[in-house]
């Protein structure tokens, strides 16, 4: 093996997972179509949304795992991005799979290529996750859906049920859920490493895109390479402006779910999983500069969860946009809180546990506590080869369920999206999980589900 080739898949996955938004530049020798005749155990994959995060998901399935990519769909066929920025467009993906059928409308792709497709990667903006995933599942296709799984809570519940009904294998794209860190956190907390957990603080440095816009930008001519109507999907119609797409849609409520929807699915993941959090009693938030159109530039969101089994009630507080929890006294001077993308601080009655974003690098603090700690046996099954590989295994029946299948991911996704209900009304929102209803605020309740534009259904 040449020195050139010693960037292993494992290393690459670790590396890209560690930056998820800023995509490391991968040398061209690990890219490119392989041209090998697929062995018979390969599945046929399609993708909806082939730029941005979709580019990397497809890379891992098509090139790293050498599965067949048979159909590709994207509404935006702008020219390929030059390597160097780490950000690729659908055309970059298209160039690598000249034989794959190309579509702008995923409904047409499913109609024409349905019989050839076993499974679909969905990496569109948040507003089209649910309709695309549902259409695939109804045709019996396995789905990998970028996080957040859906744009609203109602869609989330519908997808969870549909996965059971159509007996398909599912995975949300919170790739940290297939890593070691989140497993260690859960094992240690269940082992009582820090006693009863009463508070968790978690934070991220994002947004790195504009938020807090008060008004919509003026109408612009739609680029010839963009199918604007299809990009809007089920969202209400509005005139095109470059400020919505390709990248900045996260900062507009009609399309995205803000910082929380982006990073919450990564950073709240170890908290929700380790502490088995389901419906909170309430969520409250205050936020400088949120508008009817756009999430605020920063937010602080506070969730109150009641007791669960042997676990006591816990307060979970989210900070973004530059806000941070106080530095714990246990953290040695000069040591970073979390990592450069954020982190979590679990506060128990017997100690504290800190990790970075995606559950990376968990440690009891201070470090002396970590050193003294007798770690429990590793009882949770580990995932080899990364998050996409995990899903591929489930699709092939090699394992029963992938790590962040919709039963697991739906729970997380709902907790994440509940934060946005509070954020949008800047109030304490009481949640009746069983009936999927905000009990004290009609406006917040109106955001649980939204009406689709004519021609779109779930």
According to CB under 8 A, which residues from 330 to 389 bind another protein? 333
CB of 18 vs another protein, minimal distance in Å:
23
Q: Which residue has the tokens 């098509």?
A: 62
Please select the residue that binds another protein; options are 112, 219, 327, 382, rule is CB under 8 A. 327
CB of 323 vs another protein, minimal distance in Å:
5
Contact between 428 and another protein per CB under 8 A: yes
Contact between 322 and another protein per CB under 8 A: yes
The whole-angstrom separation of Cα 223 and Cα 24 is 28
Closest CA to 167 of 379, 406, 371, 385: 406
Count the Cβ atoms, other than its own, within 10 Å of residue 317: 16
| Residue with Cβ nearer another protein (68 or 298) | 298
Angle, helices 129-138/153-165, rounded to nearest 10 degrees:
10
C-alpha 229 chain-centroid distance: 24
The whole-angstrom separation of Cα 191 and Cα 186 is 8
Please select the residue that binds another protein; options are 191, 229, 315, 339, rule is CB under 8 A. 315
Helical ranges in 208-301 per DSSP H: 228-232, 258-259, 265-267, 269-274
| Residue with Cβ nearer another protein (157 or 426) | 426
C-alpha 437 chain-centroid distance: 24
According to CB under 8 A, which residues from 263 to 302 bind another protein? 284, 286-289, 296-298, 300, 302
Contact between 49 and another protein per CB under 8 A: no
Count the Cβ atoms, other than its own, within 10 Å of residue 167: 9
CB of 440 vs another protein, minimal distance in Å:
8
Please select the residue that binds another protein; options are 41, 79, 221, 326, rule is CB under 8 A. 326
CA neighbours closer than 13 Å in the CB half-sphere of residue 340: 5
CB of 201 vs another protein, minimal distance in Å:
11
| Residue with Cβ nearer another protein (234 or 321) | 321
| Residue with Cβ nearer another protein (187 or 427) | 427
Binding site for another protein (CB under 8 A): 284, 286-289, 296-298, 300, 302, 315, 317, 319, 321-324, 326-327, 333, 426, 428, 440
């Amino acid at each position: 093996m040449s020195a050139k080739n010693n960037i292993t898949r494992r290393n690459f996955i670790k590396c890209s997972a560690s930056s998820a938004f800023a995509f490391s530049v991968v040398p061209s020798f690990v890219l490119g179509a392989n041209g090998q005749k697929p062995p018979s155990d390969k599945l046929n994959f399609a993708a909806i949304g082939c730029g941005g995060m979709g580019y990397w998901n497809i890379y891992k399935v098509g090139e790293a795992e050498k599965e067949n990519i048979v159909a590709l769909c994207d509404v935006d066929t702008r020219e390929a991005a030059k390597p160097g920025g780490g950000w690729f467009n659908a055309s970059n993906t298209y160039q690598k799979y000249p034989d794959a059928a190309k579509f702008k409308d995923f409904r047409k792709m499913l109609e024409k290529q349905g019989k050839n497709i076993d499974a679909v990667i969905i990496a569109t903006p948040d507003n089209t996750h649910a309709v695309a995933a549902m259409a695939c599942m109804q045709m019996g296709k396995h789905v990998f859906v970028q996080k957040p799984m859906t744009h609203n809570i109602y869609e989330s519940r519908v997808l969870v049920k549909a996965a059971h009904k159509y007996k398909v294998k599912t995975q949300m794209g919170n790739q940290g859920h297939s890593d070691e860190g989140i497993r260690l956190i859960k094992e240690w907390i269940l082992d009582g490493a820090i006693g009863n957990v009463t508070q968790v603080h978690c934070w991220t440095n994002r947004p790195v895109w504009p938020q807090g816009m008060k008004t919509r930008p003026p109408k612009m001519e739609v680029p010839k390479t963009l199918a604007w109507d299809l990009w809007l999907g089920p969202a209400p119609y509005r005139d095109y402006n470059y400020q919505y797409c390709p990248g900045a849609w996260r900062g507009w409520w009609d399309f995205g779910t803000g910082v929380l929807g982006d990073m919450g699915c990564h950073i709240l993941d170890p908290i929700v999983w380790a502490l088995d959090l389901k419906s909170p009693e309430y969520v409250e938030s205050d936020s400088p500069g949120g508008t009817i159109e756009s999430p605020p530039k920063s937010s602080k969101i506070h969730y109150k969860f009641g007791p669960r089994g042997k676990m006591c009630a816990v307060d979970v507080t989210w900070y973004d946009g530059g806000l941070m929890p106080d530095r714990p006294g246990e953290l040695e001077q000069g040591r970073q809180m979390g990592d450069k993308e954020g982190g979590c601080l679990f506060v128990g009655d017997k100690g504290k546990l800190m990790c970075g974003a995606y559950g990376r690098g968990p440690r009891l603090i201070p470090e002396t506590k970590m050193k003294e700690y007798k770690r429990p046996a590793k009882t949770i099954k580990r995932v080899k080869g990364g998050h996409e590989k995990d899903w591929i295994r489930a699709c092939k029946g090699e394992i029963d369920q992938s790590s962040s299948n919709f039963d697991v991911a739906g729970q997380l996704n709902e907790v994440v999206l509940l934060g946005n209900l509070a954020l949008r009304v800047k109030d304490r929102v009481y949640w009746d999980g069983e009936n999927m209803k905000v009990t004290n605020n009609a406006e917040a309740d109106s955001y649980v589900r939204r009406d689709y534009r004519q021609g779109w259904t779930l």
